[in-house]
A and B are shown apart, each in its own frame.
Chain A
Amino acid sequence: GAGVSQSPSNKVTEKGKDVELRCDPISGHTALYWYRQSLGQGLEFLIYFQGNSAPDKSGLPSDRFSAERTGGSVSTLTIQRTQQEDSAVYLCASSVLGLAAYNEQFFGPGTRLTVL
């Protein structure tokens, strides 16, 4: 079956512009996560959507970052007024939401963002 997909695969933008990154989770997965992979900071958690609950935004680095998930499926991560330090690979993951101590997260291929 189809895995997690992300678009675009690469995005080059100018400092100060807004960008939107898209994630299509695996069908039926109710949990969705955004992470950021950068040279200086490694892999960092950004935000987590769980079913219809309020998202956990504790990892967002500033108020320039926001995300939404429409209809419990597709998610969009928006970065406003981009800065050079926002350059990174943005990863999306999804999982089923069950009673197990942990449900495997399946990762997408990522969007490589370059801010000039």
Chain B
Amino acid sequence: GNSVTQMEGPVTLSEEAFLTINCTYTATGYPSLFWYVQYPGEGLQLLLKATKADDKGSNKGFEATYRKETTSFHLEKGSVQVSDSAVYFCALSPSSARQLTFGSGTQLTVLP
């Protein structure tokens, strides 16, 4: 079946530090890949996506590249801000279905 494994948290960084949250997946076919973010007290929001191999999704300074050879979609940001503190979820949507399969989530706290 389909599954997503992401780096366990919590992750605590100082402002302006470099961020990487690892995500690997198992799926048949060619899934679409996503990062969702859940800010404190808010609902899930789509952060970025990539729908085919070698695509790079980017938004708000965050980037992730769809690597089919390593079945990975690691999230990166060069310089985090306090406002980036949130829970980040890696997810996939298989080509045969529309629903999302999520990773377990990674809590990020950025300290000033």
Asked if A and B bind, the verdict is yes
Q: Are A59 and B99 in contact (CB under 8 A)?
A: yes
Pick from A35, A42, A56, A91: contact of B97, CB below 8 A: A56
Q: For chain B, which range describes its interface: under 10, 10 to 19, 20 to 34, or 35 or more residues? A: 20 to 34
Within the complex, the shortest CB–CB distance from A61 to chain B, in Å, comes to 15
Scan residues 86-112 of chain A and give those whose CB is less than 8 A from a CB of chain B. 91, 93, 95, 101-105, 107-110
* One of A10-18, A43-51, A75-83 contacting the partner: A43-51
By a CB distance below 8 angstroms, the chain B residues around A42 are 102-105
Task: Kindly state the separation between the CA atoms of A37 and B45 in the bound complex, as whole angstroms.
Answer: 15
| A interface size (C-beta, 8 A) | 25
Task: Kindly state the separation between the CA atoms of A35 and B105 in the bound complex, as whole angstroms.
Answer: 15
Pick from B44, B99, B102: contact of A56, CB below 8 A: B99
Q: A91-B43, A110-B43 are in contact. Are A105 and B100 (CB under 8 A)?
A: yes
Within the complex, the shortest CB–CB distance from B42 to chain A, in Å, comes to 7
The 8 closest A-B pairs by CB, nearest first: A43-B102, A107-B44, A102-B32, A45-B99, A107-B43, A42-B104, A101-B51, A109-B43
CB pairs A–B below 8 angstroms (11 shown): A4-B43, A33-B98, A42-B102, A43-B91, A44-B102, A45-B100, A91-B43, A101-B32, A102-B93, A103-B98, A104-B49
